[in-house]
Amino acid sequence: MGFPEGFLWGGATAANQYEGGYREGGRGLSTLDAITGGDIHTPRMVTFKTKDGKVDSVKNGEALPENAIGYIKEDQYYPSHIATDFYHHWKEDIALFAEMGFKSYRMSISWTRICPNGTKEVNEEGLAFYDQVFDELLKYGIEPVVTINHFDMPMHLADNFDGWSSRETIDYFLFYCETIFNRYKDKVKYWMTFNEINILRSWNTLGIHSTDEQIRYQAVHHLFVASAKAVELGHQINPDFQIGMMVCYILTYPGSSHPGDILAALQANRELEFFMDVQVKGEYPAFKLKEFERKGIEIKKEPGDDEIIKKGTVDYIGFSYYMSAVAVREGEDAELVIGNQMKVAKNPHLETSDWGWAIDPTGLRIALSKMYDRYKVPLFVVENGLGAYDEVEEDGSINDDYRIEYFQKHIAAMKDAIELDGVDLIGFTPWGCIDIVSAGTGEMKKRYGFIYVDLDDDGEGTMTRSRKKSFDWYKQVIESNGENLSNN
């Protein structure tokens, strides 16, 4: 009963929000290096230069002029450049993860640290950096779980190939995969191809200049082919590799029992099931093909693409779970609230975080059941957590009981999914186990960690690490394999 033996308790981060060292050790630029900070009211901006020399910016997620190239302005603060500086603090941070008793640690590799332009040139210094990191993790018995691509798109590929809209990008990505698979084949067993593949759009993550649906879906097709080929290649390099996909799971409820609302919820949930259907079952689902037909979207496939997708299905589903949403039928008014990189209808039954995200532990159990019933593959909660304002008390303590309470409920929901629903859940890596830059808003004050980092939204601070109250609490949870959730 309870969590299985060997359950992968740990924490999760991503290079673009944590690593920093953006111009160090031979690293090349990525699109996210040209994205400013913001806050709950101020959008993050993409800074660019047109080929005729005009410097300008657009809201993150909006279309860029066709001839724009990413541009770093000298007088602008970009939070990803230093982030919370894992690049220089990795030893100290891993020691803190080990102190909490982590069995696993999910991180991403920065594509441009390995291939500075995203092309077929390799930066040995970048490879050596991650060698040290993996060795340090293994020294403590911590299993690395690596996201191959977490939002960062090599700037060179965005500027010159319009990113994932070009078929060539598949080849460059596979070269990067082959390089890291070969290098780390004896150090890393758990991999994931693309972080939150279902919410990738526009220039920041796909490198595409337009926001046109036709172009986005063509890019998504290229991601599917790239992911499937990476899975096959990885298994050839080391048959023990476990290679998963990763989806941003936002469970959508119907706003009422009105059949129109039920249908609206079904359709919203299909938006994420589409990505799992392709990567787990190995084929485009009928509902998506029909939608393409209706909208006149034509995916250009090369001969053999369908077979590649069929062959390269994933070993497990990794997913993020923070919140649920509500859908209502067309024409029906609904109060909208902010969600994970989108706006959703408000659920009157749920409380929200300081950033407006609906807190819904039961939704996690439902999500686990729905996924397991449909796909029958192991599941891995690779992101979950509460973004909150943390107060440092005069004595230096940080009493984040709200975070503990959030995790108590979500861990209990996972336990129910295992014990009552028979879900095969292999691990739990809470997001931003150490404070990192927020992806949605670019802020530092939206914190998720068990470990506090002294840094503010203007990049000021000592970078000193300190343990929050939740640090010892999570240690006790891991020690008891999820049995002792009490907060004394």
Strand order in the sheet with 324-327: 251-254, 324-327, 342-345, 336-339
Q: Does 447 bind ligand BG6 (CB under 6 A)?
A: no
Position among 215, 248, 327, 345 found at the interface with ligand BG6 (CB under 6 A) = 248
Position among 114, 345, 439, 453 found at the interface with ligand BG6 (CB under 6 A) = 439
Q: How many residues bind ligand BG6 (CB under 6 A)?
A: 15
**Is 157:169 a contact under the CB 8 Å cutoff?**
yes
Q: Does 446 bind ligand BG6 (CB under 6 A)?
A: yes
Q: Does 435 bind ligand BG6 (CB under 6 A)?
A: no
Q: Residue 179 or residue 340: which is nearer to ligand BG6 going by CB?
A: 340
- Of 154, 69, 169, 71, residue with least CA distance to 111: 154
Which tokens sit at 310? 């069929």
- Cα(92)–Cα(48) distance, rounded to whole angstroms? 36
Q: Residue 14 or residue 418: which is nearer to ligand BG6 going by CB?
A: 14
Position among 359, 438, 468, 471 found at the interface with ligand BG6 (CB under 6 A) = 438
Least Å from the CB of residue 437 to ligand BG6: 7
Q: Does 36 bind ligand BG6 (CB under 6 A)?
A: no
273 is catalytic: no
Return the residues of window 356-415 that contact ligand BG6 according to CB under 6 A. Answer: 383, 387
Q: Does 440 bind ligand BG6 (CB under 6 A)?
A: yes
Q: Does 196 bind ligand BG6 (CB under 6 A)?
A: yes
Segment interacting with ligand BG6, rule: CB under 6 A, options 73-81, 85-93, 297-305, 436-444: 436-444
Segment interacting with ligand BG6, rule: CB under 6 A, options 38-46, 206-214, 394-402, 434-442: 434-442
Closest residue to ligand BG6, judged by C-beta, is 440
Q: Does 340 bind ligand BG6 (CB under 6 A)?
A: yes
**Is 478:100 a contact under the CB 8 Å cutoff?**
yes
Residues 6+ apart with CB under 8 A from 106: 10, 11, 12, 13, 145, 146, 147, 382, 429
The DSSP result for 48-103, as a single string, is EEETTS-EEEEETTS---TTEEE---TT---GGGTTT-HHHHHHHHHHHHHHHT-S
Q: Does 14 bind ligand BG6 (CB under 6 A)?
A: yes
460 is catalytic: no
- Cα(416)–Cα(212) distance, rounded to whole angstroms? 42
Q: Where are the alpha helices (DSSP H) in 277-347?
A: 286-295, 305-311
Look at the chain and count its residues: 488
Residues 290-329: x where in contact with ligand BG6 by CB under 6 A, - otherwise, as a string: ------------------------------x---------
- Cα(151)–Cα(176) distance, rounded to whole angstroms? 15
**Is 7:428 a contact under the CB 8 Å cutoff?**
yes
Position among 3, 431, 473, 474 found at the interface with ligand BG6 (CB under 6 A) = 431
- Pick left, alpha or beta for residue 482 (phi over 0 → left; psi -120 to 50 → alpha; otherwise beta): left
Least Å from the CB of residue 34 to ligand BG6: 17
Query: Which residue is catalytic, options 19, 136, 383, 443?
Result: 383
Query: Which residue is catalytic, options 136, 196, 273, 443?
Result: 196
Quick one: the chain helix, strand, coil %, rounded to 5?
40, 20, 45
Which tokens sit at 478? 């891991």
Least Å from the CB of residue 65 to ligand BG6: 27
Question: What are the residues binding ligand BG6 (CB under 6 A)?
Answer: 14, 17, 195-196, 248, 320, 340, 383, 387, 431, 438-441, 446
Active site residues: 196, 383
